Amino acid sequence: MDGAELLRPVIEGLAGSPPPFRVELWDGTAVGPAAAPATIRIRSPRAIRRLLTAPGELGLGRAYVAGEIDLEGELEAVLSIGDRRPDLRFGGREMAAVLRTVGATRAFLPLRLPPPPEEARMRGRLHSRERDAAAIAHHYDISNDFYRLVLGPTMTYSCAYFASPGSTLEEAQTDKMELICRKLRLQPGQRLLDVGCGWGSLAIHAAERFGVSVVGVTLSRSQAELAEKRAAEAGVGDRVTIRLQDERDVDDGPYDAVSSVGMFEHVGAERLAEYFRHLLRLLAPQGSLLNHGIANRAGRKTRFDRRGFGARYVFPDGELHEVGRVISVMQEAGFEIRDLESLREHYALTLRRWVANLEASRDECVRLVGEGRYRVWRLYMSVSARGFDRGDLQVHQALAVRSEGGRSGIPWRRFDTMLP
């Protein structure tokens, strides 16, 4: 019996019969319709070894990053497997089929393969300053030019805010920054702290459009250097200060407003209360915090599975929190919650725009960061888009204030937060 026939129970058990994609093995055999919209090419028996040493998501991810598996055609058809088996854990029947294939194809020895070099190996105490800095460097300090190709000219690495599906990514990211500034009710002469400022886009927008002075902090050296340069080029270098600094070390309050966009996913459940208490102390009375972050559905684990692709290749030590828990922690820290908005559908569209940019600039992206990292970003953004589609992943903007004696400073009606 050929390799494809031996693997048929695994493929059909995961994806159905017939599967919505084609699987081709290194020996030329195949399972699935020839006219399928997508093809999984298993190019080497090494991919089978990956599945034996790390069954499920991590083994598949390692094989893909290493180039032992290729995904061709419509990724959505391949990724639909996640709708049927979201945990991607093989049972005894599937593993028996893999073992039969191993024996038939002589793929067994050597059993254990080193992981691709793109896999993170974190050391030290979880969420210590040193380990957090290393986790940030793993993801962000790879190439500013690469991120410019993927994210577009706004260099904004968080969920955009689309007026319609036909809006450009640049328009939607500008609208997101405008929305945040309006929710914070920024006024000329105020001070804004932008925690996890990225490449400085929100800080520059707030200084240009709202006349505020901004301090942006990031743990990424590459981000800090480019953000400072971009602020100077935009003519707001006198009002935008970028620091290579851990947010725990910011002590120069009071600020009139704080923005935390795509940041608190890196904080960790154990530090969440401390994080919000610190931001509260940095705010002036009636000051506002806008926390924009990804959330898990209720009942899901907070910390990324250490055996999963995301924890090993994308966001080491990343943690997602259920929105109800986040609101409770913010209120326990002393904040008053004034507004909560979900942007879930917007993030699915944002991610697909990033994937389109990545694929359109494939050769240049590979030149900048290598084939392995190109594959990591293509896979993680495509999978994440489907997660937001299904509601497994969510994203919220929570507006909170430091009320003083019951006075919040929020007007009776907030029509000024609406975009045209």
Dig out the tokens for 257 from the structure.
Answer: 């407003």
Query: CA angle 338-344-346, nearest 5°?
Result: 105
| Residue 112: inside a domain | no
Answering whether pTM is above 0.75, one says yes
Distances in Å between the Cα of 180 and the Cα atoms of 218, 257, 408 are: 19, 11, 18
Q: What is the pLDDT of residue 151?
A: 98
Same domain, 190 and 138: yes
* Burial class of residue 101, CB neighbours in 10 A (0-12, 13-18, 19+): buried
Same domain, 160 and 96: no
Same domain, 243 and 354: yes
CA distance 270 to 20: 42
| Residue 245: inside a domain | yes
Same domain, 267 and 382: yes
Same domain, 95 and 156: no
Query: Which residues of the chain carry a pLDDT beneath 50?
Result: 1, 85, 87-90, 108, 110
Could you read off the pLDDT of 194-248 as tens digits, one per residue? 999 999 999 999 999 999 999 999 999 999 999 999 999 999 999 999 999 999 9
| Residue 118: inside a domain | no
* SS3 assignment for 102-156: HHHHCCCCCCCCCCCCCCCCCCCCCCCHHHHHHHHHHHHCCCHHHHHHHHCCCCC
Same domain, 273 and 395: yes
| Residue 296: inside a domain | yes
Dig out the tokens for 119 from the structure.
Answer: 């896999």
| Residue 263: inside a domain | yes
**Element containing residue 253 per DSSP (H, E):** none
CA distance 270 to 268: 6
Same domain, 198 and 280: yes
Could you read off the pLDDT of 334-348 as tens digits, one per residue? 999 999 999 999 999
Distances in Å between the Cα of 229 and the Cα atoms of 15, 199, 239 are: 49, 9, 13
CA 245 from centroid of its chain's CA atoms: 21
Instruction: List the CATH number of the domain containing 49.
Output: 3.30.1050
CA distance 260 to 198: 11
Instruction: List the CATH number of the domain containing 328.
Output: 3.40.50.150
Task: Match 């997508």 to its residue by tokens.
Answer: 38
Q: Of 73, 105, 137, which one is at a domain's C-terminal end? A: 105
Same domain, 245 and 359: yes
Same domain, 296 and 413: yes
| 377 in Cβ contact with 151 (< 8 Å) | no
Around 97, how many Cα atoms within 13 Å sit in the side-chain half-sphere? 18
Same domain, 199 and 328: yes
Q: Of 52, 72, 105, which one is at a domain's C-terminal end? A: 105
Q: How many residues does the chain have?
A: 420
Burial 173-196 (b: 16+ CB within 10 A, else e): bbbbbbbbbbbbbbeeebbbbbbb
Same domain, 143 and 88: no
Dig out the tokens for 274 from the structure.
Answer: 């401390």
CA distance 87 to 82: 8
| 123 in Cβ contact with 36 (< 8 Å) | no
Same domain, 248 and 392: yes
| Residue 153: inside a domain | yes
Could you read off the pLDDT of 324-383 as tens digits, one per residue? 999 999 999 999 999 999 999 999 999 999 999 999 999 999 999 999 999 999 999 999
Please state the domain count of the chain: 2
Show the domain range for 202.
129-417
Q: What is the pLDDT of residue 22?
A: 83
Dig out the tokens for 197 from the structure.
Answer: 């400022």
| Residue 335: inside a domain | yes
| 66 in Cβ contact with 372 (< 8 Å) | yes
* Burial class of residue 369, CB neighbours in 10 A (0-12, 13-18, 19+): buried
| 337 in Cβ contact with 400 (< 8 Å) | yes
Q: Of 70, 105, 140, which one is at a domain's C-terminal end? A: 105
